[in-house]
Structure 1
Amino acid sequence: MTAQPTPTVVLVHGAFADASSWTGVIKELKNDGISVIAPPNPLRGLASDAAYIASVAGQTDGPVVLVGHSYGGAVISVAGAAENVAGLVYVAAYVTEEGESLGELQDRYPLSPLGSNLTEWTYPVEGAEPAVEFTVEAEAFPEIFAADVPAAVTEVLAVAQRPLAAVAFTEKAATAAWHTKPSWALVAGADQAINPDVQRFGAERAGAAVVELDGASHAVAVSRPKEVADLIRDAVRATV
């Protein structure tokens, strides 16, 4: 029996971050000869963001393993319906069901400190009223987002945030690819941005293979890239 091609890993960042948050994970995977793409996640709304990531996957030769951090988990749950997606990996992420919004998922459990430490902004929309977007308050960012990351790094991350459109919290997922694709999940045990119970619930509902890292913050891909890469390697090996 002929082995299938080794999947390309597509890393999808979440809110309040960019693709550079995967730097350590990228180094780990490339050292193992695994092909990696880390595209920008537009952060403008679940349907449009998922369509963009599905387009990236669809233009990638061979099978793809989608990896989503935080809000990126909701994005890959929808984008993962693309035909060449072979597996899904959730990293400190929302694992949404079809017809469910981020708000509905996180409201199942006590809210994290994130919601009360957001700054509201607006951005122009052609032909319409300005739309709302959010960032994390800079002073609260280190504790909420990256408590196990060196202070010098969190200072940079806090001022380099990419905002998330407010509509992303209420827009319902059009599908849930984990119903038909194998999945893996990493739970960040000390996450102050997404309640770890929300992560556990979504992962268990999806039937994901789960790894939990005690003491890990929401920025687990920055603070513990080897452990994140290890889980992604498991997914790559399982889908070959």
Structure 2
Amino acid sequence: MTRTNIPSLNDAPSILLVHGALTDASVWNEVTRRLQAGGHTVSAPALAMRSLDKDAAYVAGVLGRIPGPVVLVGHSYAGAVISHPAIAACDNVKALVFIAAFQPDAGEAAGELNEKFPGSLLTPDNLNVVPNPNGGQDLTLRPERFAEVYAADVDRAHAAVMAASQRPVEPGVLGQQLPGEPAWRTLPSWALVSTSDRSLPPAILRFMAERAGSHVVKVDSSHAAPVSQPAAVTDLILQAVNTSASADAISH
């Protein structure tokens, strides 16, 4: 009689959640709570967002400290980070999950992709760009425009807190090209398309996800999907986790 390997929670990959521009790791708070309640091991580091290559190197360093397999999740700009060739070189990454996120190909930049289709409200009149005291510049959304552009389906009081605590991005980062073959070419991927997104047009999210061959789920959400739709985001992450655990169990 042949015994089938059924994955248990002990076999499940760890989950690494990476935030995007204009937010910090707190964007994952409710998703993290749900995953931890299910017994999963979760990490949510903070990015400097001064350089795409440096952000990817930092995430690769975090991955190197996590024992065992990992499902890597990126929101928004972090999709470019987890697509970076430095991530493909990390042997413990088993799957990628893109939450309303960029999925650039070699030679593409996030800012360029966001202009491929109309509909983004990340326009100069909605943005603030100021000098950074340490050099360079800081780009944020105007606080009074944050809810409409980024978090239209988030409780207004919560959106106001998000607007006040934005983590700025160096504007030049959004023009930095992916320097080689993306990680999604060699790793299985899942993608959430936020169909009411006013930051990344749904058309570009669909284009990138379909091009990457990702398993796609469409959710009626603003760009702040981890905050406004934590159940749907958690479910998609768990699809990747369970598929990865099953594949690992079969291979052993």
TM-score, normalised via structure 2 length: 0.90
Identify, as 1 or 2, the structure richer in strand.
Answer: 1
- Residue 105 of structure 2 aligns to a residue whose secondary structure is coil
Give the count of matched residue pairs. Answer: 235
1:166-225 Cα deviation digits (max 9, x unpaired): 1211111123000000000001110111111111111111100000012x1111100110
Matching residue of 1:122:
131
- Residue 113 of structure 1 aligns to a residue whose secondary structure is coil
Matching residue of 1:52:
58
Which of 68, 82, 87 is the equivalent residue of 1:80?
87
Question: Aligned pair 1:211/2:192, yes or no?
Answer: no
Identity of aligned residues (%): 45
TM-score, normalised via structure 1 length: 0.94
Aligned residues: CA RMSD:
1.4
Further displaced range: 221-230 or 105-114: 105-114
User: Letter of the aligned partner of 1:229 in structure 2?
Assistant: T
Matching residue of 2:164:
159
Matching residue of 2:189:
183
Further displaced range: 116-125 or 164-173: 116-125
User: Letter of the aligned partner of 2:60 in structure 1?
Assistant: A
Matching residue of 2:148:
143
Which stretches of structure 1, 4 residues or more, deviate above 6 A after TM superposition?
Answer: none
Conserved 8 A contact 2:20-2:74: yes
Deviation at 1:76, TM superposition (A): 0.6
Structure 1, unpaired ranges of 5+:
none
User: Letter of the aligned partner of 1:53 in structure 2?
Assistant: V
Structure 2, unpaired ranges of 5+:
246-252
Conserved 8 A contact 1:9-1:65: yes
Query: C-alpha separation between the residues in 1 aligned to 2:160 and 2:68?
Result: 39
User: Letter of the aligned partner of 1:7 in structure 2?
Assistant: P
1:112-132 Cα deviation digits (max 9, x unpaired): 01123110011145xxxx312
Query: C-alpha separation between the residues in 2 aligned to 1:151 and 1:103?
Result: 27
Deviation at 1:134, TM superposition (A): 0.3
The structure that has the greater radius of gyration is 2
